[in-house]
Chains A and B, each alone.
Chain A
Amino acid sequence: MNPGEHVRDLAPELALGTLDGNQRALVMAHVAECPACRDDVAGLTEIVDLLTQATPAVTPSPGFEARVQAAMASSETATSALPLRLAPVRAPQHRRPAWWMLIAAALIAAAITGVVVRRLSAEPDRLVASAAMIGAGGKNVGSAYVLSSSPKFVVVTVSYSLRGDAYNLQGIGAGGRVVELGALDWTGGQWHWSGALHAADADLTTFRVVSPSGDIFCEGHLSS
């Protein structure tokens, strides 16, 4: 099967945002490596964006703008401005050597930009493990997916608003080994990280979203 053909059927639903987590992860893994499908998804996403802008405007009710500005003002001083914000828990201070971070960052960047060597096999990726990302109070705030590609491809999404712009994804391997995977990207109201893992990091069983100060926002333990 032509891998490009494989996701062409799902590209419209990816652009519309209606794929479930598993399918979304599979398609994103393919799109990261396939320029043709990436262009296809980009073109369809453009149309969805234009449709978003085609809906008629509605005049706000009196006082709406003042309410939003008041919420902004209180958000600047409050520790928890959003109703769904979770209280952080303290992260352990494990850190990988810097050279590992450089290698991981280079591999992730290469995978995302399509520079990695395309897989020789035309076998479609499949989901090999997943996890709910759990925050304080046991709340489910997102998902993590690991695909069977070689190297393994990881997609992590967090649907809740995080304070600040520098939340990072960590992977936890055997013996508590911590791998810094990089900063989450914020698009469409959702935090997101996706990329290929180095072969040496295939043992990662836990993923954590960590604040700049080292607090764990949420954590997911993979299950097959």
Chain B
Amino acid sequence: MVVYDSSDEVLMAGLAAGDEEAARTLVYRFSPRAIGLAYQLLGDRSAAEDVAQEALLRAWRHASTFDARRGSASTWVLSIVRNLAIDTMRMRRAEPWDPATLPIARLAEPAAAADDLAQARDDSNRMLVALREIPVEQRRALVMAFAGLTSVEVAAAEHIPLGTAKTRIRTGLRRLRTAYLGDQAGASAESATPTGGQVAT
């Protein structure tokens, strides 16, 4: 089966059928993005490669469970990477740490992360631009939550009440959706009006 130039979905079908070339293609096609995502969440190149390897093994082993109706193959593979990276980070987080030291925190910086934008693909660039359209406090909370911090941990890291942390995460994600999808998401975007005395910043 020739899969090297095929779509991700055809590649997944090849994996499910036990095709060896499909397995090689999976590794070469997804390794850079898998390592990149894991590195953003862990800040450790070696650990990022360990996570990426384990994620690719799991994707290869469970390819037959992939359902194209529920999302793209790259989304499926990268969600495995993200979950494994978060699990790894939680296991390593025995000592107090500063989430701002993670590479992904660059996405929440007030000034444009020019390198990130320059390297990003068009669709990624659009997402990074949308991210910059939401208030910086919400962006920081959202990026921390994306990196696997719970709302309690975000509250502790930002020295804010738990309710405020939850509101920032909630409003940040909804505003990001509106900024990325534009009018498509406008109808369902959440009002920034605070609830329960919480500060919606």
Contacts and interface: CB of A to CB of B under 8 A. Distances in A.
A42 to B, nearest CB: 10
Contacts of B56: 68
- Interface majority SS (helix, strand, loop, mixed), chain B: helix
Given A53-B124, A56-B119, A165-B64, A61 B58 contact: no
B174 interface: yes
A72 B59 CA distance: 11
A92 interface: no
Interface residues of B, number: 68
Contacts of B151: 13, 18
B145 interface: yes
Interface in A20-40: 20, 40
A186 B83 contact: no
A17 interface: yes
Contacts, number: 161
Interface string B48-79: 11001111111011101100001100110011
Contacts of B39: 58
Interface residues of A, number: 49
B97 interface: no
A50 B31 contact: no
Interface in A50-94: 50-61, 64-65, 67-69, 71-72, 75, 81-82
A44 B185 CA distance: 10
B3 interface: no
A189 B58 contact: yes
A71 B83 CA distance: 20
B28 A81 contact: no
Contacts of B37: 52, 55
A9 B170 contact: yes
A185 interface: yes
Interface in B105-122: 116, 119-120
A58 B53 contact: no
B32 interface: yes
A13 B53 contact: no
Given A17-B148, A54-B124, 12 more contacts: A46-B177, A47-B176, A49-B79, A54-B123, A55-B36, A56-B120, A57-B33, A60-B31, A64-B52, A65-B27, A159-B87, A188-B82
Interface of B: 23-24, 27-28, 31-33, 35-37, 39-40, 45, 48-49, 52-58, 60-62, 64-65, 70-71, 74-75, 78-84, 86-87, 104, 116, 119-120, 123-124, 127-128, 131, 145-146, 148-151, 166, 169-170, 173-174, 176-177, 180-181, 185, 188, 190, 195
List 4 tightest A-B contacts by C-beta distance, closest first.
A57-B32, A189-B80, A54-B127, A54-B124
Interface of A: 8-9, 12-13, 15-20, 40, 43-44, 46-61, 64-65, 67-69, 71-72, 75, 81-82, 159, 161, 163, 165, 185-190
